[in-house]
Structure 1
């Protein structure tokens, strides 16, 4: 992606949208069934969980999903349908502001990295309620999101956290160097990337409780550490300096 002016958030949004659309390409899409998808159907495909905000998951038993649909030269994944992608993985185009096309208790785990902050608090709670519905009793939800407390502490403590984060983003090739102003570094979390609501641990616990999860079951975790190592291993290194990692188990 060519460079942009960090001070023009509308330009960044347009470039990111174009980048996502350009990246959602595959060679072959084969639709494999009709919703609502139940546990028997998903397990028949070798799928036990859903990873949101991913065109392809590193988890061998994951259904990858994203609001931006995968497409081939002559077809596009229809919303809410499950497709076999290039003969080796599975994908569904899912909008988290709508009802998920899965039966109650149909998956053992759900993973979402840096997703919930892209919708309003109300929409986030509604999505979490849908996740609770589709999780099997005792199933696991792992959510990661930018941590408001980390940014507040970084702002108050000085330059160290922001300097590390700018260096990391630049090393990843994500645009030109970020401005070194602390106010910019704080504001970009709120106003860039399409963010709508930023969480700390208490705010995320509130949203989970409002969605029907037991707040006492909410656990703060470390990067790539959790009750299911196979799910925790989906955490990406790029975001671990700024992220809040939270797990909760569905009611039995």
Structure 2
């Protein structure tokens, strides 16, 4: 924590802060042990069955789901210097599986392979075009009847709070200040800042409300009547819904869709 506290943190300089956050991401990608488990350029159902896996969690260095393959663009680094690379499934700390993927490229998974996909606060970090392309890939790799659970900051929550002053900004600010205590200075209290930080501070590229998510999902080929709005840690598959993180559930929209 002492080293983290020395990092520059300027809420009002998104470009500088993005570099700072990238440093934290690299820290989070450091693990105790990294063991090569299976080599494959493209994963198919037999690979998942061999490892006892059923689904994919995106933006996860070490998924908490016992049957998940965690994946991220960022490489993992172990204490002995071992570093993950593409085309290789790794066992992380003898507790989880990891495979590098870039969501702006075709997913290295065969059609109709996984039972479920989970992605928390990911899609807003790429452009709308890239997001729809990724969702199209997700639909392709899901087995018929498979489930996608996707979460993202809800633009409507921010817009309504800015206009109506409903108290959300104050509550969310206090929550984030507690989470970042000792790492970052307090978030500014100004309403315009609280609205702007959603767009610019975290490297976000496109913000969603329910209507925009419906547009992206249907553009990717999912049926509109298969889209369901859910609550925090509630869903068709409790084991998948339990992956929801508490920290930002006040600002998040939860949506599930079946393939």
Q: TM-score, normalised by structure 2?
A: 0.93
Which deviates more, 10-19 or 21-30? 21-30
**1:136 aligns with one of 130, 143, 148:** 143
User: How far has the Cα of 1:153 moved from its partner?
Assistant: 0.9
Q: Distance in 1 between matches of 2:94 and 2:120?
A: 25
Aligned to 1:155: 162
Aligned to 1:215: 224
Cα deviation 1:84-103 (Å, max 9, x = unaligned): 22333200111100111111
Q: Distance in 1 between matches of 2:150 and 2:194?
A: 23
- What is the DSSP-based 3-state SS (H/G/I as helix, E as strand, rest coil) of the residue aligned with 1:237? coil
Q: Distance in 2 between matches of 1:40 and 1:241?
A: 39
Q: Distance in 2 between matches of 1:185 and 1:228?
A: 33
Q: Distance in 2 between matches of 1:80 and 1:242?
A: 35
Cα deviation 1:195-251 (Å, max 9, x = unaligned): 00000001000000110100111111110011000000100000100001000000x
- What is the DSSP-based 3-state SS (H/G/I as helix, E as strand, rest coil) of the residue aligned with 1:110? strand
1:20-39 correspondence to structure 2 within 5 Å: 20-26=25-31, 27-39=33-45
User: How far has the Cα of 1:159 moved from its partner?
Assistant: 5.4
**1:106 aligns with one of 110, 113, 116:** 113
RMSD across aligned C-alpha pairs, in angstroms? 1.3
Structure 2 unaligned spans of 5+: none
User: How far has the Cα of 1:81 moved from its partner?
Assistant: 2.8
Is contact 1:55–1:65 with CA below 8 Å preserved after alignment?
A: yes
Q: Does 1:165 align with 2:179?
A: no
Aligned to 1:66: 72
User: How far has the Cα of 1:35 moved from its partner?
Assistant: 2.8
User: How far has the Cα of 1:66 moved from its partner?
Assistant: 1.2
Q: How many residues align?
A: 250
Is contact 1:80–1:94 with CA below 8 Å preserved after alignment?
A: no
